[in-house]
């Protein structure tokens, strides 16, 4: 049960990436529950998403780079909980500049957790991704299943998960949330996510495009349900979430891309589904979400069509402006600051036991360390 705001007022939460797609919806929810919130975000995609709550007396916004902890850590006093969302947060954007991805998604993440532990922060909630499962054989994957990341993005998430969980203790409880692909309307909108992109096609009167046969499975979850899962972890008994990994989504929200297109099509009956042959993404995973049901009673309350309909209404109201604006596409924005695909100074290596050693960068130069993703293991 949600404690009345008065009993939790004063609990101070640091949200990194609080101006992002998920963060900009989570932060107002936290303020509404009576938490004190500090946001650290470079605001790469703009800072207007937090505008509606910018003057809230319990919100503090620091436009800082999480990789420069020394610059801003002294500003953060008496933090009780860290919710770490800041990230280079999809596959193509992560591939653009591997150094930036590794320093943000892995090095800054683990440094932040070590700092938080030293500061006697009690709880650290890490936003990971179901993409750590990679291409799987088709059986439902749970938190004990073999992981097989096939992209740099997923590798950095998995490497961080492991290091963070090693830091977990009775006094510093780490929880890893492996989110399904998010969808739905946010104050910081993204149209580079599968369901949102399909909704945009329908709104634009364009056919929905499915690459290949569309048989690859993905799990999805509405971003407000993802925010609810974070709130559930915050409120949970420490022993239930300490050192735990949870998939976040719902069994019924595993869709093939073809099935997803058919679901989205229900909102646009005049639109057809086209099949393209290019760029088939081999990632396929069906995920099981029983653990988070059993531990926290969490079940997503919103379906695909809820997200599509709210995006449709927002587009019709004109509030989104042009949905082709590059601010809605992480890759387009990041490309601006990185014209060419860069070689990495780091090396992401997999052990011989790891059968997913596809994401390798050139050997390290200039004495930089390695991230080693060892044997994929049953956690």
Ligand X SMILES: NC(=O)c1ccc[n+]([C@@H]2O[C@H](COP(=O)([O-])OP(=O)(O)OC[C@H]3O[C@@H](n4cnc5c(N)ncnc54)[C@H](O)[C@@H]3O)[C@@H](O)[C@H]2O)c1
- Residues at the interface with ligand X (CB under 6 A): 17, 19-23, 40-45, 65-67, 85-87, 89, 104, 127, 129, 179, 181-182, 188, 190, 193, 330
CB of 311 to ligand X, least distance (A): 14
CB of 371 to ligand X, least distance (A): 16
Closest CA to 207 of 263, 275, 309, 281: 275
- End-to-end, the C-alpha distance of the chain in Å comes to 30
Q: What's the residue count for the chain?
A: 379
Residue nearer to ligand X on the CB measure, 8 or 85: 85
Distance CA 154, CA 376 (A): 13
Closest CA to 186 of 17, 333, 33: 17
CB of 363 to ligand X, least distance (A): 25
CB of 103 to ligand X, least distance (A): 8
Residue nearer to ligand X on the CB measure, 8 or 66: 66
Residue nearer to ligand X on the CB measure, 190 or 200: 190
Task: Kindly write down the DSSP assignment for every residue of 338-357, as one continuous string.
Answer: --SPPPPSSEEEE-TT-TTT
Residue nearer to ligand X on the CB measure, 261 or 271: 261
Residue nearer to ligand X on the CB measure, 158 or 203: 158
CB of 1 to ligand X, least distance (A): 27
Residue nearer to ligand X on the CB measure, 250 or 271: 250
Residue nearer to ligand X on the CB measure, 172 or 179: 179
Residue nearer to ligand X on the CB measure, 127 or 245: 127
Residue nearer to ligand X on the CB measure, 44 or 236: 44
Q: Residue 363: is it exposed, middle or buried by C-beta count within 10 angstroms (0-12/13-18/19+)? A: exposed
Whether residue 25 contacts residue 224, with contact meaning beta carbons closer than 8 Å, is answered with yes
State the CB neighbour count (10 A cutoff) for residue 196. 26
Following CA atoms 195, 197, 203, 208 in sequence, which dihedral angle do they give, to the nearest 10 degrees? -80
Instruction: Write the CA distances from 229 to 6, 37, 55, 141, 348, integer angstroms.
Output: 22, 18, 26, 19, 31
Residue nearer to ligand X on the CB measure, 66 or 257: 66
Beta strand 36-40 with 12-16: parallel, antiparallel or unpaired? parallel
Alpha helices for the chain (secondary structure H): 5-8, 23-32, 69-72, 91-96, 98-101, 109-118, 152-167, 194-203, 223-235, 238-241, 257-265, 290-296, 304-317, 330-336
| Positive/negative CA dihedral, 277, 281, 282, 284 | negative
CB of 236 to ligand X, least distance (A): 19
240 phi, psi to nearest 5 deg? -80, -30
CB of 5 to ligand X, least distance (A): 25
CB of 12 to ligand X, least distance (A): 19
Which residue number has the CB closest to ligand X? 20
CB of 199 to ligand X, least distance (A): 14
CB of 194 to ligand X, least distance (A): 9
Nearest-5° Cα angle at 311, 305 to 314: 140
């Amino acid at each position: 049960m949600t404690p009345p705001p008065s009993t939790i007022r004063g609990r101070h939460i640091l949200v990194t990436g609080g101006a992002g797609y998920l963060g900009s919806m989570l932060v107002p929810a936290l303020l509404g529950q009576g938490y004190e919130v500090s946001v650290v975000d470079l605001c790469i995609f703009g800072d207007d998403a937090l505008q509606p709550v910018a003057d809230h007396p319990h919100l503090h916004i620091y436009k800082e780079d999480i990789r420069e902890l020394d610059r801003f850590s002294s500003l953060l006093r008496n933090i009780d909980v860290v919710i770490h969302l800041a990230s280079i947060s999809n596959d193509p954007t992560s591939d653009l500049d591997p150094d930036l991805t590794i320093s943000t998604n892995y090095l800054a993440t683990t440094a932040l957790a070590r700092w938080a532990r030293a500061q006697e922060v009690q709880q650290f909630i890490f936003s990971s991704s179901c993409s750590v499962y990679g291409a799987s054989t088709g059986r439902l994957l749970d938190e004990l299943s073999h992981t097989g990341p096939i992209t740099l993005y997923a590798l950095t998430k998995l490497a961080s998960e492991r290091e963070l969980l090693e830091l977990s203790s009775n006094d510093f409880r780490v929880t890893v949330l492996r989110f399904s692909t998010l969808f739905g309307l946010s104050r910081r909108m993204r149209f580079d996510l599968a369901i949102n992109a399909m909704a945009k096609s329908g709104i634009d009167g364009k056919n929905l495009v499915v690459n290949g046969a569309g048989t690859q499975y993905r799990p999805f979850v509405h971003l407000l349900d993802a925010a609810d899962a974070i709130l559930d972890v915050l409120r949970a008994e420490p022993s239930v979430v300490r050192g735990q990994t949870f998939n976040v989504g719902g069994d019924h929200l595993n869709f093939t891309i073809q099935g997803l297109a058919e679901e989205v099509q229900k909102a646009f009956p005049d639109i057809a589904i086209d099949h393209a042959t290019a760029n088939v993404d081999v990632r396929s995973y069906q995920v099981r979400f029983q653990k988070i049901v059993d531990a926290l009673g969490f079940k997503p309350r919103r379906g695909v069509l809820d997200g599509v309909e709210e995006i449709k209404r927002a587009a019709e109201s004109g509030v989104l402006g042009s949905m082709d604006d590059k601010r809605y596409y992480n890759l387009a924005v990041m490309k601006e600051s990185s014209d060419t695909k860069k070689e990495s100074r780091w090396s992401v290596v997999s052990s011989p036991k790891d059968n997913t050693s596809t994401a390798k960068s050139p050997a390290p130069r200039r004495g930089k360390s390695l991230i080693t993703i060892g044997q994929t293991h049953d956690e």
